[in-house]
Each structure stands twice: as C-alpha cells, then as structure tokens.
Amino acid sequence: SNLKPRKCVCPREHRSLHVDSPPRKPSLTSSYVHGTSSMSLLPLTVGQSLDSIVQRWPDREAVVFLQDGIRKTFVQFQQDVDKAAAGLLALGLKRGDRLGVWGPNMYEWILFQFASAKAGIILVSLNTAYQMKEVEFTLKKVQCKAVVCPTRFKTQNFCEMLRELCPELDRTPVGMIKSSRLPDLRMVIVTDSRQPGMLHVEDVMQAGESQHHKELMMDLQSKLSFDEPINIQFTSGTTGSPKGASLSHHNIVNNAYFMGLRMGFGRRVRVCVPVPMYHCFGSVLGGMCMAVHGITLVFPSSGYNSRANLEAIQSEKCNFIYGTPTMFTDMLSQQDLHKYDLSSIEAGIIAGSPCPPEIVRKLITDMNMKELMIAYGSTENSPVTFLGFPQDNEELKINTVGCIMSHTEAKVVDPTTGEIVPLGASGELMIRGSCVMHGYWDDPQKTREVISQDRWYRTGDTASLNSLGYCRIEGRIKDMIIRGGENIYPAEIEQFLYTHPKVQEVQVVGVKDERLGEQVCACIRLREGQTSSAEEIRAFCKGQVRVCVSPPLDFALQDPTLCDLCRQLPSDSLWKGTILLLSHTNIAELSRSPR
C-alpha cells in the first residue's frame, strides 16, 4: 500500500513532561499533562520501606518529640515498632483489622502508624476534634477493633467519651469489650495513664516480647501485598458525614518517595513538623518520608504552638519546616521573631489551603526559606499531586501550586461536558495515577461520585494548567458564586484582599440575594492592633473587585457564639462556622450599608 501512516495529532512531547527536574521548555498544547520520570515506582510495603532505611542509617535520629523528651534513632524506632506490631497480633488483632489512633502529635501516633502497617492492620486516622457523634460514626463505619488514645488532650477527654459510648468497658475483661453501640470494638489502648477496663501501651509492648508473635509478624511481612489498604483517612467538607479514603502501601510509599526526591531529601534533613499526624500532611510528608528517605522528624509540641515551633527550629537546627498558610502566618506575626536564630532553615513546604502572596514573600525574606515549595493535593490522592521545585522563581511560587508529580496525570475539563479545555483555560481539575485512593471505605456510591470508570479522580477544584505543567487553583466548583449570571471565584477576591496591609486572614463566600441570586461577602480578620471598617475595605476594593464587605464582628445579626469563635477557635473552625452561618443568611440582613 502507498498509504503512509498518519502522524499522531498529539505528539508525545506535547502530552508528557519529564519532571525529575524543573521543565524548562514550554511543551504542553492542551490542558492534559502526564508527569514522567526516569525513576520507577517502588514495589514496597510500609514495613519494607522502614526496614530498608534502618539498614542504611541505623544510628541517625528518626524522631524527636520535644514536649515529651523522646528521641529515637532509626534502629531504636524499628525495635519499638516490631515489638508493638507483635503485641497487637498477640492481643488478638489480625491482618486486615482496623485500629484507630485518636490523639495529637505524640510518639505513640507514629509508633502505631508503623506497627499497624507491619502487622497488616489498617490504621484509621481520627481527628482530635471529633466529638462523640463523629467518633461513633467513624469507628462504626470501618468496624474498628481497637483504639489508641491518650486520656485527654486540651478540652477533649477521649477516655471519658469512649466510656460513654461503651459503658460495657467497666464490666468486661480487658481487651474483650462487647459493646452494643460499637459492636466491633474489642480494646482501648491508652498511651499515658492506666484506666479501668482499658489496656496501656506497655501491655502491648510486653505482649510483643513473645517470640512466637515476633515470628508471626516477620512471616506476615513476606505475605503482605503493597496493594493492600493500610490507612483510612477520614475526610469531609464543611458539611456531611466524614468519608473514609482508603489508601494502600503503594499509594503512600510512592507519594512520599517522589515528594522527597523533588524536595531534595537526598541530603541530611531535619524537619520541624507542626502539622497534625492525623492528616496526610503529617503522616505521609512526615512519617512516610522519614521511612523512605531517612529524614529526621522534630515535633515541637503535641498541639500547634508558634513559639514552640520557633524554639524547635533554633534548638534542633531544623533545615526544613512544614506548615499550612495559617501556621506560617502565626509564626510570622510573633512580635519577637527576630530574636530566634532561624539561620539553619533552608526550605519548607506550604500546603493545606491557598497561600497569600504576601506570606510567600515574607517566608523567603523573614524566615530565610529560600527554597520554599508550594504543594497541592487531597487526602484521596495520598496526598500530593502538584509540588513546586526548590529552585522555582517567585512568580511560580506565588501564582501556582507547583508542577505535576511523577507518574501522575492531570487534566482540566469543562465541568458540564467533560471535555478537556484549551491550555490556560479554567475548568475542573481531574487526577489519575498511582496516587489515587482505592475508594471510600464501604461507600461505593460516594466513590463513584468522585472516581470515574476510567479511574479519573474529580477534585472539585477549578484550576488551569500552563505549558510547563504547573497548576493554578482558582477555587472550589461548589464555592463558585453566580452573581447575576456572572461566575465569580472566591479565591481571586481573597488574593486581592490579602494585599491590604491590615488584613491577616480573609474568607470570601456567596450569600443569598433576592435580586442577583447571590452576592459576594468577605469575612475579614484584621492584624493584631489594627482597626478598620467596612467602608475602608470597600474603598480599597472600588474599581478592583465587586464585593460586599462584612468583617465577622460587624454583622447586623451577629450571633454571640460566632463572636466567641472569632476569638477562641483556630481559623479553620472560624471560617467553617462563618460559612455555615452565611449560607443560611440573606445578604440584606448582613450589611446595613446600601450596595
């Protein structure tokens, strides 16, 4: 035949990007990208990753918990993990059982993260803020057999809540609970005090002395598959029941591996970790990166404390720091920031929510974080899918959430048609690859809502891609405000308001409006010692953005509970409370001044 083969209309270099180093040449031609790498995926379980790194650096510090005075080298940590894993098996837990950890950053958190993995037991990460209703729902949903927790933390009395859920604790032999409300729960393991009807961590460690169960655990290691689920991370938006994202060894080992390669974890790294272990940020970028790359994790305090972070950086000579924008904002606003020796800091990761440009600039100038990297992802993606390179310029650090990760595909589609949008256009971001969760535990319907038949995960975020494979997040699709037929993304207005010198934090939400359908409302937290008014902020916005400004404490129908929220709770809780209030409030009730 004289017919020549047709040229591919979408050449390979226009679809994939080699991302072992920053892409230099713009090559994407549509809003689809595949991050390729010369490094293959690791076929390892969590336990194998830890054992491998222990052989390499047995005497290097693995974890430091400053508040509790605990320091463990890799070999010491491995010994504790093996003993705890054998102990869990000796107490009757089996491969595939679920074990919940409910508590703040403490040595036992990371100990049971790895002990459960070695025993083939699935770790269930429980938020410390959970109240009785939420903890009952989550434990029942995953049929938890055991819970590890301290007696209490701050105002949360974990043991008391569990006793209320399981009054049978006082009447059944230790480790053999038979509860009507939590029928699968067999044991509660307390990390500090001894409690009636509950086991203590020491009981687990002693049970792990049994040679038979040590051998059982070692034998189990060779049989575990890296595709087995190993962690259930509960996730939910501002409303609705929590959903349990089921992550495998393969998910989290490889996410940690490729993140560490990009962050430059080949060198000696000591990371200050103020982020909670019960989120992927703490357990994967923290615990798993430690086990895969041999980095040292320094935990300044059990709960977030800006001053403790700065002291930890100074005393432990941390050269890396993790944090959310709010955490970094709090550190930067410390009056005596200049008194701390932060010269050891070289780099950091900022993730968890959109980061204002001013914060990025201040971290580079005021905290010496020259190699600051922005990360983006979600619990369902194990978690990171886009991550900056240390050498990225300021424009990329401020305007994007980084470059596509290795072995990851992303596309931006029109949310109504599902078609890929032109390069640079906005649409819904979709992710596919080794990072995507198995699904939501025991919830096929919710899983089908977010993962398509061809395994694309719907992020629910509006985004755009540039020709170098970097992503810009513009907001949540469901948060998009439709004002008189015009689509408005809250994130764009928030970024503008952050440029006002008096504004510390801002959240933009849509509220009902009789004429326009929805109106834009900005809730603002001012910097300490600053005063302002709705008029001043409105004047600042004039000709720039269309917004009705209402600082949280200026609402005409201000609920005193919300006033307390403003003063007492972390901003995440404040904004969730604010959004819930606003979503049921009419704009006419919020602003005394005419629009």
Res 571 pLDDT > 50? no
Distance CA 515, CA 437 (A): 43
Distance CA 66, CA 313 (A): 11
> Would 547 be classed as within a structural domain?
yes
> Would 286 be classed as within a structural domain?
no
DSSP of 139-201, one letter per residue? Answer: HHHTT-SEEEE-S-BTTB-HHHHHHHH-GGGGTS-TT----SSSTT--EEEESSS--TT-EEH
Helix, strand, coil % in the chain, rounded to nearest 5 = 35, 25, 40
> Would 581 be classed as within a structural domain?
yes
> Would 528 be classed as within a structural domain?
yes
Residue 545 — very low, low, confident or very high, per pLDDT cuts 50/70/90? low
pLDDT tens sequence across 43-94: 999 999 999 999 999 999 999 999 999 999 999 999 999 999 999 999 999 9
Instruction: Assign 496 to helix, strand or coil.
Output: helix
Distance CA 250, CA 296 (A): 22
Residue 523 — very low, low, confident or very high, per pLDDT cuts 50/70/90? confident
The single residue listed with the structure tokens 């729960």 is 185
Residue 373 contacts residue 348 (beta carbons within 8 Å): yes
> Would 246 be classed as within a structural domain?
no
Res 584 pLDDT > 90? no
> Would 329 be classed as within a structural domain?
no
Token pair of 356, please? 């204002």
Residue 573 confidence (pLDDT): 40
CATH number assigned to the domain comprising residue 519: 3.30.300.30
Query: Which of 187, 215, 235 is where one domain is finished?
Result: 235
- How much of the chain exceeds pLDDT 90, in percent? 70
CATH number assigned to the domain comprising residue 173: 3.40.50.12780
Token pair of 531, please? 């005063």
Nearest Cα residue to 297 out of 54, 68, 59, 71: 71
pLDDT tens sequence across 381-418: 999 999 999 999 999 999 999 999 999 999 999 998 99
Residue 574 confidence (pLDDT): 41
DSSP of 243-272, one letter per residue? Answer: EEEEEEHHHHHHHHHHHHHHHTTTS--EEE
Query: Which of 168, 200, 235 is where one domain is finished?
Result: 235
The single residue listed with the structure tokens 């393991």 is 189
Res 586 pLDDT > 80? no
Residue 235 contacts residue 380 (beta carbons within 8 Å): yes
Number of folded domains that form the chain? 2
Average pLDDT, the chain: 87
Residue 572 confidence (pLDDT): 44
Res 501 pLDDT > 80? yes
Residue 479 contacts residue 428 (beta carbons within 8 Å): no
Q: Give mean pLDDT, residues 445-461.
A: 97
Stated pTM of the model = 0.84
Helices (runs of H) and strands (runs of E) counted in the chain = 20, 28
Residue 531 confidence (pLDDT): 85
Cα 374 to chain centroid distance, Å, stands at 13
> Would 489 be classed as within a structural domain?
yes
Domain boundaries, position 527: 480-590
> Would 71 be classed as within a structural domain?
yes
Query: Which of 211, 235, 259 is where one domain is finished?
Result: 235
Distance CA 59, CA 508 (A): 49
Res 343 pLDDT > 90? yes
pLDDT tens sequence across 294-322: 999 999 999 999 999 999 999 999 999 99
